[in-house]
Amino acid sequence: MLEALPGSFQRSLGKKFTRGQAPFAYFASHSGKYYGYHFFTYPAAVAPLRAVLEGRQKAFRAHQYFNLIALSIALASLLLLASQPHVFWPTVSMAFLTPVLWFTTYASTETFVFSLGLLALACHLSGRPVLAILFNSIAATQYQPLALLSLFLCAQWFWVHRSGLRQAWLRALGALASTALVFVPSIFFYTQFGVPNLIAREGLASAKFMSFRKFVGLFIDLNGGMLLYTPGLLLMSAVATVWAISRARRHPWGLGLCVCVLLTLAASTVQRNWNHPTFGISRYVLYAIAPALLFIGGELRERARVSRWLVGLCAFALGLQVLVHRENGWFAYRANDAAHHSRIAAYVIERWPWLYSPHSEIFCERTTQWCWPDPATGDTDAAHLPVVYRDPRTWMARKMLVSRCDEAKALAVGLLTDEQRAHIHEAMQHCSGTGPMYINF
């Protein structure tokens, strides 16, 4: 099978496929069949196109073609909002100029989930709430935290139609059935493996991995956060949150949707693998872009009057996104990968290291250019620490991640000045607790 792929694909996939063995991340079920620890909604969607291209020279590009088709259909669905120009134009422009464009060539679920999210957005804001629940639930079978949004939209539908449920019983069944799709992956894995989630069974997702630093990093991290790659969306989300709070007493569902989006982001922090693979922006931010756009679009729809400042705000937000893509690439990402610090992150660490203290996995992997399990989990051998970021021009240490209270290892790092050694000694005198700690120079 690998021989049919281009050389670059063979080099990459050769590490995951060994002759005579199950592929990486595939496990034997009770029936003896092998399944991956991700549910197979996306592969099943691509399968018809793969069948059509079978035997052709470009058959290996089926996922890329599918991603482009799915994204095109999703963007075209936003035409359903054309009768609401104050919603349509900001939503279309913000939906198109997102980092999802960089993932269309990637045979993974990001583009698929984003496209389904846009379909849900278009249906919900154009008065088709049951279809919105359906599309979002399909997306949730591939990325489970989105199940929260389906449950929220279903609860909202029942509340809005609570006085006429008898007349709308068929749509009520449709809403319930659409929401129930979010439980399909858990039911499947339970019947096949005896556990509802293979990722959790393999120790790659757990509530113990959740942290406030990871959650905040989704917004402001200088390597993969919204501030760096979707600043326009972050600005519009902040303004929409103010609008939702201001009308929360009269219409609480807007604020409820905001909280739901935040909970979706918070739920993603259960993942152990926090830094890679990605193109610039964190993939967990990417999964939440469509729900954030749904929230923004809903708040824009409530603005009966379009003022000049609102037009200016949308134009400014769009301008920020244009700058991001002008700097990093329009349809292909050309900046740093997950093994290197972004230019902004490196600039800050080299000059003001105390301003940027990311999640330890992000710092370690991007400083050492090596796949690094998170030291905070306790699963990493402490012998790998400390990790030191050095200014590439002077080779002076600027930031260090070290095991807490392990002064001997910190002082054993080479090329430290006497002043830096004294600073390490002082920092260790005031340390407490367990786990790694940052020392800035």
Q: Which of 299, 328, 357 is the last residue of a domain?
A: 328
Position 17 scores a pLDDT of: 53
- Write the pLDDT tens digit of every residue in 420-437: 888 888 878 777 766 788
Q: Residue 265 above 90 pLDDT?
A: yes
Residue numbers of the domain that contains 151: 63-328
One domain, residues 287 and 410: no
**Which tens digit of pLDDT belongs to each residue from 17-64?**
555 667 777 888 888 888 888 898 998 899 888 888 887 777 778 889
Range of 233-247, 391-405, 415-429 with top mean pLDDT = 233-247
Same domain, 375 and 316: no
Within a domain: 423:
yes
Give how many domains the chain has, as a whole number: 2
pLDDT of residue 12: 47
Are 260 and 124 within 8 A, CB to CB?
no
In a domain, 6, yes or no: no
Length of the chain, in residues: 441
Rounded Cα distance between 220 and 362, Å, is 13
Beta strands 34-36 and 26-28, pairing class: antiparallel
410 has a pLDDT exceeding 90: no
Write out pLDDT tens, residues 289-309.
999 999 999 999 988 677 788
pLDDT above 70 coverage of the chain, percent: 91
Q: Of 328, 361, 392, which residue constitutes the final position of a domain?
A: 328
Q: Percent of the chain at pLDDT above 90?
A: 46
Residues 258, 228 within the same domain? yes
Quote the pLDDT of residue 128: 94
In a domain, 96, yes or no: yes
Query: Residue 106's pLDDT band (boundaries 50, 70, 90)?
Result: confident
Q: Final residue of a domain: which of 274, 293, 328?
A: 328
Q: Which long-range contacts (CB under 8 A, 24 or more apart) does 355-360 make?
A: 356/222, 357/438, 358/213, 358/217, 358/221, 358/222, 358/223, 359/211, 359/213, 359/214, 359/217, 359/221, 359/274, 359/275, 360/401, 360/436
For residues 169 and 164, what is the distance between their CA atoms, to the nearest angstrom?
Answer: 8
What is the per-residue pLDDT across 66-98, written as a single tens digit (0 to 9) for each? 999 999 999 999 999 999 988 999 999 999 989
**Same domain for 365 and 259:** no
pLDDT band at 372 (very low <50, low <70, confident <90, very high): low
Average pLDDT over residues 313-340: 86
Mean pLDDT estimate for the chain: 86
Give the pLDDT score at 50. 85
Report helix angle 41-53 to 110-125, nearest 10.
110
Residue 334 placed within a domain: no
Looking at residue 378, its pLDDT comes to 45
Q: Write down the pLDDT at residue 142.
A: 94
Whether residue 263 is predicted with pLDDT greater than 70 in this model: the reply is yes
Instruction: Mark whether 130 and 276 lie in a shared domain.
Output: yes
| pLDDT given for residue 125 in this prediction | 95
> Which among 190, 126, 181 is positioned nearest to 150, based on CA atoms?
181
Whether residue 161 is found in the same domain as residue 263: yes
- Which residues have a Cβ under 8 Å from the Cβ of 215 and sit 6 or more positions away? 265, 266, 269
**Same domain as 291, residue 231:** yes
pLDDT digits (tens, 9 = 90+) for 159-202: 998 888 888 889 999 999 999 999 999 999 999 999 998 888 88
User: Which pTM value belongs to this model?
Assistant: 0.89
Query: What integer is the mean pLDDT of 241-262?
Result: 93
Q: Is the pLDDT of residue 10 over 80?
A: no
* 302-338 residues labelled b (16+ CB within 10 A) or e (exposed): eeeeeeeeeeebbeebbebbeebbeebbeeebebbeb
